[in-house]
Structure 1
Amino acid sequence: MKKRLNDNWTFCKFPLDTPIETLFQNTSWTPVDLPHDWMIYDAENLYEQAVSCYRRIINKKQLLDEADPDTQKIELVFEGVYMDTAIYLNQKKIFTWKHGYSEFVVDLTDELEDGDNELLVRNEYHLPNSRWYPGSGIYRDVWLLTSSAAHLVHNGTYLSTKQLGKTWEVFMDTEFIDEAGAASDGRICHEIFDADGTLVTTHESSIHFSDSVQVDKQVLTVIEPKLWDIEEPNLYQIRTSLYAGDTLTDSVTQNLGFRDIAFDADKGFFLNGRHVKINGTCEHHVLGSLGAAMNKAALRRQLLTLKEMGVNSIRNAHNMPPEHMLNLCDELGLLLYTESFDMWERTKTDYDYGNDFKDWWKKDLTSWVRQDRNHPCVFIWGIGNEIYDTHFDRGLELTKELHNAVRELDYRKNAYTTLGSNYIEWEAAQRTGEVIDLVGYNYLDKCYDEHHEKYPDWKIFGSETSATVQSRGIYHFPLSNRLLTFDDLQCSTLGNCTTNWGAKNSEHTIIAHRDREFCFGQYLWSGFDYLGEPTPYFTKNSYFGQVDTAGFPKDTFYLYQAEWTDYKKKPMVHLLPYWDFNEGQLIDVRIFSNAPKV
């Protein structure tokens, strides 16, 4: 049984050097519900260094009374805690986790005592540890998992599909175990349901339990299923049930999408045999004034806004996505470029994950791939972003290790590996292109033609593009006057404000990728504004987005919409600027439309 455990938590915060005994003895706790980003509550001190602690009382008897009668295993799943987490039960340290974005599981089975148990989740925030605003605390969902000794392993199912004419095969590999060590027989049954809940097909096989993890492999067939596509994201559900004898001991239900993806070095990307140009945006995990605290409704609003712009893919920059992102992209028909690490062994800030990468990357990568690999939306594995290590031999070794580790977990290639690189114009970094499946370029479209000729087998795309800056409703004339900073401390949204590493303007970004068939697409930096990286001014948030932090589109939103949407389905026209400037003032008037004639 799986249920959220987001209620009845309390919270406290202390200076960094506070000993753990002080937390144990603390009597002043603030009630909170999860997800919770404690840092967003003080807008004047968004990067406060602190030790924070979350407390919850877990009564073992009450927990067992609410669970299935044969419950013998009790686990907690944390989707994300930022960062450097230690977990204590009854003042005993039972678990540690370093990464701030990867999911982890804490086994409480042998630790819980009869009666009340005090659970403390302690995390540290040292400055600086990130290049953007990460938030802090238990900012994603917490889940309680209860099961019998014979159970399915968490995230232990691996599914993939393959088309054979009108028939599709569904491959299901399922990990199971009986921790009681009972050498008994059982069975695993898979059932596929369509969107209406109608049973489409079922298949089962006999199994034999042991006290070590076993893998059951089955193949189901479905005739002429509705395909998952960015236009019509048809979803099925597949339910996996584990039986010991005739007793149901565990089950899990997950999304199933029938889709086929392919990349061609000359022709680009194909989804279900149809050529698709990737029109994507990079998105950090913050949700405007909500901070990092995950909120499904707010995330849905962001994704629907981006779809309205014509976006068909999201790059989850530069960290593992939450379960809500995966499920929403499945539901809404958005392809997901899921990402893992912003640094490897060479740090970018004093206290970032690079300090722990060497000892922890395999655990975090395993958690990431096992969580994401079954979702039909996932089509790219991003194993790193702007990794300075790739200048050196060690970087090439790590590229191979990470690529191979992904392939061991996604061995039927549901998605393809890549690096988002701003170093790919140098020879040393180019060596990684011979390892990864797709070659990502950050702000280096000038290299596309040369590299396509030099490396004709490379599948090339813009992993990070644009980096123009704009403030909603601000216009600095004339359009021909290109500047980064202005006296009013705003960025012009007329189309004449950009960074020194970014594109000349949005039109350049569009043309550079639209007119190169071999380049399968791009990801703008960024879709939404986000907290942190306030180029070029010292403010709280960035100006890179086509939508501001409140969710209101800027004028560039409509420029991309004019290029990325079909006037036959939804015609649009957008004029700028507004009309209350000084009398006699010469202004630039711009018109964006997806129609061939207005």
Structure 2
Amino acid sequence: MKTTFVQKTILCFFLVCSFHLLAQNKSGRALILIDKDWSFSFGHQYDTKKDFGHAEGYFSYLTKTGFGDGPAASGFDDRAWRKLDLPHDWAVEQPFSETASFSHGFKSAGKNFPEKSIGWYRKKINIPNEDLGKIISLKFDGVFRNSKVFFNGFYLGTEESGYNGFEYDVSAYVNYGGENTIVVRVDASMEEGWFYEGAGIYRHVYLQKTNPLHVKQNGTYVTSEISKDNALITAEVKLENKGHFKGNVEINQIILDASGIQVATKSENVTAPEFYKTNAYSSKLNVKNPLLWDIDSPNLYQLITEIKKDGEVIDSYKTSFGIRTIEFNPENGFFLNGKQVKLKGTNNHQDHAGIGTALPDEIQYYRIAKLKAMGSNAYRCSHHPPTPELLDACDKLGMLVIDETRLMGINEYHLNDLQRMMERDRNHPSIFCWSVGNEEWQIEGGITGERITNIMQDFSKSIDPTRPVTVGISSGFKSGISSVVEIMGYNYLGNGDIDAHRNQFKQQPGMGTEEGSTFATRGIYFTDDAKHYKSAYDKKPRPTFYSIEEGWKFYAERPYLAGMFIWTGFDYRGEPTPYGWPSVTSYFGMMDVCGFPKDNVFYLKSWWGKEPVLHVLPHWNWSGMEGKEIDVWAYSNCDEVELFLNKKSLGKKKMEQNSHLEWKVKYTPGTLEAVGYKNGKKVLSDVQKTTGRAENIKLSLDKENVLKGNVSVLTVETTDKKGLHIPTANDEIMFSIKGGKILGVGNGDPTSLESDQFIDDIALVAISNFMEQKATTASLPQKLPNYSEKEWTEAFKDRDYKKQAPSYIYKGEFDLKNNSASNVVSFFYKKIGVETVVFINGNKVEPSKDDSQKYVLNSAILKEGKNTIHIAATPLQKVKDWDVMNTDPGIIQVITPAESWKRKLFNGYAQIIIQKDENAKEVVLSASGKELKNGLIVVK
């Protein structure tokens, strides 16, 4: 697929979406992204004082409605918290630690770090009076993990899994015409997977508004039957009535093509559901000469479901879908639209270099475009439901998908998760198979596994009978799940006899759901176990595992196997097999964590893609190895390849199907060139040259930035004086930016312990030993007097609010670990008096002009270690006897400015992800390095 086609496809789709957004607004339905302007702070896993006093109240949020305390309370003061936008992954921001989790990439978060395992998020929103009577809900695409959500102090619920989308109706709790507070407490102390999962609100959050009678969330289901030049569309819709409307309504179903032209419509009068009930309705529509969805032409349609009452549209709901057929055949594999398609797939987790799991939408498209460019046509979501934007990218770019639930089982926890995933995702034409499990070794080979699989499989069919079900099996292919699953998922051909299993179950289609698991470090061609580097030549990784070439040959030669999914497309954080610390990412990927290709990409591109390919490896910078033999390989789909060293032929070799070519070459600096021939004619060449030293920094915009948004991916490299890329460069590059911000940096080095992000450190320092003395006058001192040390008593203890002194002087302490002049230290005062004067170390300080209860403290009056704060104040008075008076004087915020953004190149490359400011016309990124000419790029 050409990039220009992809861009046109996306542009047309977004024009259609824009049209429907307008229609939805007119109907009263609105879906508002509320990712911006959240406050965030760490709490604590078990110390309630460090968790801002949450759940310390006499009445908790579980005992009485509306009693959210600590940060869950609407009136909690979060001014000193960090301000950020979603999506957000706090784990990626942490340093690495040898004591942290191996599976999660040794990031200092999770159960071994109780001070970094709880995250609090708060946001204030205004909801106008005119929304009274609508259904107002909060919609979360995913929070990792175990989230508790509060709204105006009211507890809404808990979602344990970090991968489920969920929503809460807040209509009854809204302060209409005023301010409302959303609070989320996230507990990432426990892991769900054995791979990096991030931490926090790492997917989108929305505020949704609908009429009481509306299309239920994920309440449409579109299927099609194709006959000659006609597609019969069945459009099912679930209406939910959260009001008292009774009577008939009209359901108007409209199908639009990618350009927004109406191609079919159907209207029906139906009886509305009763109060708080849901009814399903089905309509049949015909689309003539349908444009089918496939991997080369991912044609999409839109179903607009309008609900009309007395001729007025009261709800409008859009559903993207595709028209296509899928079939698994036990003899001939997989068919898409009646055409046999060999699945050329990869498994992938959801993190990316520099940003962890908090991927902007543009990065979802970037990653799928990278895989498409490699020749891949299929993607397995391993091992959990993906973010919705990933599936959108697969729909629009033409990538088949296996959608996978997190855990096998037959109880509500398991089946409810499966149902939510399927109902959310079943309209995506890219999904061709559901996976209900993966490598469940405890149950794979026995009767328990059979029973669970049969139930989950039949349950899946009750939700979506149009797609088959698979399970990835790795502990032998003989019995148990393997004998009953609809589509057999073989995880690694070394784990059993695939041919024998197929001969026993000839009516059971199969595919390689995982294959490869090879080790490679990009740009490394000699294994060095001391440095944790694995050679990038495609070799058998372990005795019972196979190389990428061996695996692909096995599946390619067997028509009955639908194809294979390589473990993995991209490297990912965690599981740094075969090593441990200080390796922090996997070695399995065809590409590294940035998406820079390892050499295996070119092997796959040769036999998976449609274009001529020729790639020669390794690089040709081997100073000190003159005269020693170097293994030279060529990946190509040409008929023959001839190798030249400094224009001298080293021989022409014939390329066998699904293979590669090898030479032994004694190293001599210069030019290594491979020439490819088809039908005896030269069609391609690839060159590796010995370069000079690095002199220039080159910044370039990656061509896979196919989605026109505010986020872009750039490649950083160095070149010599001739402009040649330096494949061995490891220079440290510094970055500065105007018109935008940097989201993250990476380089693909599996052993790099460099920071992924450079953000200001915000420390909150409590005021301790808070004491008081009574004053005899309401006049507050402007200079700090000397007070008798004997008369200090514990502040507010046994305070008689009916007999208060005219004023009080309070004293407390706070500790500063350092008093750098670059730090910004502020006191966020929480009102304990009507009028107030504040002294720090005996010096009167003035409030900020923009916030009368914030004091920015000059470093000249501060000192490292213990500091003293005095507050003189006239007392607050109780209006009612049961009023709860504030006794917290506030908190000290210490901002330590971040270092400049930087990253070392790794074997020639680094990556930087940037985001343009909303109102900026362009972003200017500058790069500098020691003894290097600066680089600069302007991104419009």
The answer to whether the superposition gives a TM-score over 0.5 is yes
Matched residue pairs, number? Answer: 565
- Measured after TM superposition, the shift of residue 453 of structure 1 is 0.6
Q: How far apart, in 1, do the equivalents of 2:261 and 2:133 lie?
A: 30
Q: Highest Rg: 1 or 2? A: 2
CA offset digits 1:292-349 (Å, max 9, x no partner) = 00211112111111111110000011010111111111101101111111x436xxxx
SS in 2 for 1:360: helix
Between 1:290-299 and 1:270-279, the stretch displaced more is 290-299
Q: Distance in 1 between matches of 2:187 and 2:344?
A: 37
Secondary structure of the 2:186 match is strand
The reply on whether 1:333 has 2:395 as its aligned counterpart is no
Give 1:239 shift.
Answer: 1.1
Question: Could you tell me how far apart the structure 2 residues matched to 1:71 and 1:2 are?
Answer: 17
- Please give the secondary structure, in 2, of the residue aligned with 1:119: strand
Partner deviation per Cα, 1:205-232 (whole Å, 9 max, x = no partner): 1111132211111010011111111111
- Indicate the structure with greater helix content: 1
Give CA-to-partner distance per residue, 1:515-564, whole Å, 9 cap, x none. Answer: 00000001000000111111122211111001111221010110111111
Question: Which residue, out of 292, 296, 302, partners 2:367?
Answer: 302
Quote the residue 1:3 is aligned against: 32
Kindly provide the CA deviation profile for residues 140-187 of structure 1, in whole angstroms up to 9, marking residues without a partner as x.
011111011111100010111111221110100100132212112111
Between the aligned partners of 2:190 and 2:134, the Cα distance in structure 1 is 42
Q: What corresponds to 1:354 in structure 2?
A: none
Distance 1:399 1:151 in 2: 35
Distance 2:328 2:191 in 1: 39
Match of 1:507 among 520, 527, 549: 549
What TM-score does the superposition give when structure 2 sets the normalisation length? 0.58
- 2:408 corresponds to which of 344, 351, 354: 344
Q: Name the aligned partner's letter for residue 57 of structure 1.
A: K
C-alpha distance in structure 2 between counterparts of 1:123 and 1:572, whole Å: 48
- 2: CA distance, partners of 1:500 / 1:254: 48
Deviation at 1:245, TM superposition (A): 2.0
2:45 to 16, 19, 22: 16
Q: 2:656 maps to what in 1?
A: none
Matches within 5 A, 1:424-573: 424-431=476-483, 434=484, 436-444=485-493, 446-476=496-526, 486-496=529-539, 498-503=541-546, 505-538=547-580, 539-566=583-610, 570-573=611-614
The Cα of 1:408 is off from its aligned counterpart by 1.4
SS, match of residue 433 in structure 2: strand
Task: Write the letter of the residue equivalent to 2:432.
Answer: F
Q: What per-residue deviation string (whole Å, max 9, x for no partner) do you get for residues 229-270 of structure 1?
A: 111111122211111221211111122211011110011001
The answer on 1:86 being equivalent to 2:131 is no
CA distance in 2, matches of 1:99, 1:128: 10
Whichever residue aligns with residue 324 of structure 2, its letter is: R
Give SS of 2:620's match.
coil
Counterpart mapping for 1:53-132 below 5 A:
53-61=120-128, 65=130, 72-114=134-176, 115-132=178-195
Which residue of the partner structure matches residue 153 of structure 1?
216
Counterparts of 1:43 and 1:289 in 2: how far apart (Å)?
12
Other-structure match for 1:362: 415
| Structure 1 range deviating more: 70-79 or 327-336 | 70-79
Is structure 2 residue 98 aligned with structure 1 residue 31? Answer: no
For 1:31, the aligned partner's letter is K
Cα separation, 2, equivalents of 1:369 and 1:18: 39
Q: Partners in 2 of 1:95 and 1:154 — Cα distance?
A: 18
Counterpart in the other structure of 1:479: none
CA distance in 2, matches of 1:127, 1:510: 37
Partner of 2:430: 377
Contact 2:349 2:381 (C-alpha < 8 Å) held by counterparts: yes
1:348 maps to none
Q: Describe the superposition over 1:452-480 as per-residue Cα deviations: whole angstroms up to 9, x where unpaired.
A: 1111011111000000010011012xxxx
Q: Distance in 2 between matches of 1:33 and 1:57?
A: 13
SS state at 1:176 partner:
strand
**Counterpart in 1 of 2:259?**
196
Report the residue type matching 2:489 in the other structure.
Answer: G
Q: 1:439 to 1:377 in 2, by over 3 A?
A: same
Which of residues 358, 361, 367 in structure 2 aligns to 1:293? 358
Q: Partner letter of residue 621 of structure 2?
A: D
Q: Which amino acid aligns with 2:492?
A: Y
What SS does the aligned partner of 1:291 have?
coil
1:508 counterpart SS class:
helix
Q: Would you say the 8 A contact 2:509–2:561 is kept in 1?
A: yes
Aligned 8 A contact 1:71 1:146 in 2: no
- The AA in structure 2 aligned to 1:234 is N
| Correspondence for 2:464 among 392, 410, 415 | 410
Give the aligned residue type for 1:140.
R
Separation (CA, whole Å) in 1 of partners of 2:589 and 2:552: 15
Distance between the aligned counterparts of 2:448 and 2:500, measured in 1?
26
Find the counterpart in structure 2 of residue 400 from structure 1.
454
Aligned equivalent of 2:682: none
Q: What secondary structure sits across from 1:396 in the alignment?
A: helix
RMSD of aligned residue pairs (Cα, Å): 1.8
Q: Distance in 2 between matches of 1:238 and 1:499?
A: 50
- 1:595 is matched with 638
In structure 2, the partner of 1:244 is: 309
| Distance of 1:547 and 1:54 partners within structure 2 | 34
Question: What is the alpha-carbon distance in structure 2 between the residues aligned to residue 437 and residue 374 of structure 1?
Answer: 21
Partner AA of 2:437 in structure 1: G
Question: Does the Cα contact within 8 Å between 2:477 and 2:498 map onto a contact in 1?
Answer: no
Comparing 401-410 with 135-144, greater Cα deviation is found at 401-410
What is the aligned partner in structure 2 of residue 42 from structure 1? 94
Give 1:112 shift: 2.2
Could you say what secondary structure the match of 1:563 adopts?
helix
Amino acid aligned to 1:475: Y
Give 3-state SS (helix, strand or coil) of 2:631's partner: coil
Q: Is the Cα–Cα contact under 8 Å of residues 33 and 204 in structure 2 kept in the other structure?
A: yes
Equivalent position of 1:349 in the other structure: none
In structure 1, the residue matched to 2:915 is none
Give distance in 1, aligned partners of 2:566 and 2:472: 12
User: Secondary structure of 2:573's partner?
Assistant: coil
2: CA distance, partners of 1:26 / 1:38: 21
1:127 deviation in Å?
A: 4.5
For residues 237 and 429 of structure 1, do their structure 2 counterparts lie closer, same or farther at Cα, with a shift above 3 Å needed?
closer
Judge which range, 42-51 or 233-242, deviates more: 42-51
Separation (CA, whole Å) in 2 of partners of 1:486 and 1:178: 64
Question: Deviations 1:353-392 (Å, cap 9, x if unpaired)?
Answer: xxxx844122211210011101110111011111122344
Kindly state the Cα deviation for residue 40 of structure 1 after the two structures are TM-superposed: 0.7
Structure (1 or 2) with the greater strand fraction: 2
Assess, with a 3 A threshold, how the Cα gap between structure 1 residues 241 and 379 changes in structure 2: closer, same or farther. same
What residue is the counterpart of 2:690 in the other structure?
Answer: none
Are the equivalent residues in 1 in contact too, given 2:473–2:482 (CA < 8 A)? no
Cα distance in 1 for residues equivalent to 2:379 and 2:356 = 19
Equivalent residue letter for 1:29: W
* Aligned equivalents of 1:70, 1:92: Cα separation in 2: 18
Give the Å deviation of 1:497: 5.7
| Selected match of 2:235 from 172, 197, 202 | 172
